[in-house]
Amino acid sequence: MIALRYGDETVPFLLDDRIHWQILEKTIPSPELKEEEIVGRAVDDLLQQLADRIKSRQKLLLVVPDHTRRCQLALVLPLLTSALENKFSCRIEILIANGSHALQPEQTIRQLVGDDIYDRYSVQQHDCRDNENLDYFGQTSNGTPVYLNKKIRAADFILTIGGVLYHYFAGFGGGPKMLLPGVAGYETIRLNHRRTIDEKTGLFHPDCHEGNISTNPVFNDLVQIVNFVPNVLSLQLAINEKGRIVAAQAGPILPTHKKICALVEKMYSLPIGYKADVVVASAGGFPSDVNLIQSHKSIHHAFQAVKENGQIIILAECREGIGSKTFMPYFDEGSSAAIGRKLLKDYKINGHTALALKCKTEKSKIILISQLPPSQVRKTGMIPAKDLAQAWYMIAADMVPNATGYIFPNAHIYVPVLTPNRHSDKS
């Protein structure tokens, strides 16, 4: 028996003893210092770097991630704001970097930043579709127009705060992504994300994958955002599988991001010796399974651990539904090839995720346990199930003798990396 997270709950899964099971997990060593000490040291470093850059009483904008990218803001922000005020007497505002995500109710934001911070400072959410609150900054070398929230230009100085994890098409999250897509306009995000589609083939671009930021067309476009926002430093964090801060670095966005990315790669790469016949995965519970767009990242990781024509069971509550109005219409095209052709003509944000999901359903059987209407699940090519018992019943009869299986409790953060010499007898 093993418990897997689903929304705010955990649900039991009774392991079928006919299957050769392995659990896909690893233990990330606990740091020697407490979280407050880790953050405190990084804040001290940040203050030293700010000493010659900002003056007393200047307007300081803190750009922080939304509820889908939690990084202990309720712990970090009190330490940071107190230090900034004591040192510089600055005027602080906070901007939630929603990217293209939906705006959230007040209670969600209060929980995200903490009541004290919410009540003390101006905390606002970025809305990429609010054109009146966007300024034009120029364009990238690829021709992407750069529209950013007006608060970026209005601030004397900007600090980005956020965690860094693998990102399924941009390589790594955090870093420059706090600005683009974080506080960018819809059209800027749309044209940047369109680079996930290979112009020649209409397929998902082969260089858009976890860990690749050197030849990644999406990252190589968005990274240019630092050229348009020179008055910025960052506080970047590494978070363990329990959501605790294990490392923090302060400094210019790109070199700081590079340091944290190297640590994240060591923490969250998960070597596997073979691909299994079946993978039973949890999207990590709330907020990682808040909607289907976010849950796809877990499906993506589970898919990397399953054989072609293998079977995946994924637990993802999706309490907020799909997560994008532009996502589902692409499945009207019927196949991944047709979706790709559609995207080349009419790309909308999250269209690439529709393509990625459809490709997976054409190569494997994916059973989704969620709160989504069954008709929506079927339209994507996945199979709906009400619970784990029903999902297992759907595939148990198809299990071959000596079948292999993975249990993947944290599919939202770990990335399986095939390393055949580990267990070559199962390949």
Asked if omega into 384 is within 30° of 0 (cis), the reply is: no
Rounded Cα distance between 422 and 254, Å, is 34
Question: Which of 218, 247, 267 delimits the end of a domain?
Answer: 267
Min mean pLDDT across 31-35, 51-55, 309-313, 398-402 is at 398-402
Continuous segment of H or E residues that includes residue 124: strand 122-125
Question: Which pLDDT tens digit goes with each residue over 21-30?
Answer: 999 998 887 8
Confidence of residue 422 (pLDDT cuts 50, 70, 90): low
Residues 200 and 290 in one domain: no
CB-neighbour burial class of residue 176 (10 A; exposed 0-12, middle 13-18, buried 19+): buried
Q: How many domains does the chain have?
A: 2
Give me the pLDDT at residue 427, please: 37
CATH of the domain at 220: 3.40.50.11440
Residue 147: CA count within 13 A, CB half-sphere: 20
Is residue 424 pLDDT above 50, yes or no?
no
Residues 277 and 262 in one domain: no
Residues 159 and 222 in one domain: yes
pTM as predicted: 0.88
Give me the pLDDT at residue 47, please: 96
Instruction: Give a yes or no: residue 30 inside a domain.
Output: no
Rounded Cα distance between 182 and 88, Å, is 26
Give me the pLDDT at residue 397, please: 84
Structural domain span for residue 310: 2-25+273-426
Residues 313 and 280 in one domain: yes
Question: Which of 252, 267, 282 delimits the end of a domain?
Answer: 267
Question: Which pLDDT tens digit goes with each residue over 402-419?
Answer: 899 999 999 999 999 998
DSSP string, 232-299: EEEEEEEE-TTS-EEEEEEESHHHHHHHHHHHHHHHHEEEESS-EEEEEEE--STTTTSSHHHHHHHH
Residues 337 and 404 in one domain: yes
Residues 91 and 211 in one domain: yes
Instruction: Give a yes or no: residue 251 inside a domain.
Output: yes
Residues 246 and 299 in one domain: no
Confidence of residue 425 (pLDDT cuts 50, 70, 90): very low
CATH of the domain at 298: 3.90.226.30
Residues 288 and 244 in one domain: no
Rounded Cα distance between 335 and 354, Å, is 10
Question: Which pLDDT tens digit goes with each residue over 278-298?
Answer: 999 999 999 999 999 999 999
Instruction: Give a yes or no: residue 149 inside a domain.
Output: yes
Per the structure block, which two tokens stand in for 304? 């990397």
Residues 230 and 290 in one domain: no
Cβ-proximal residues to 31 (8 Å cutoff; 6+ apart), any chain: 38, 246, 247
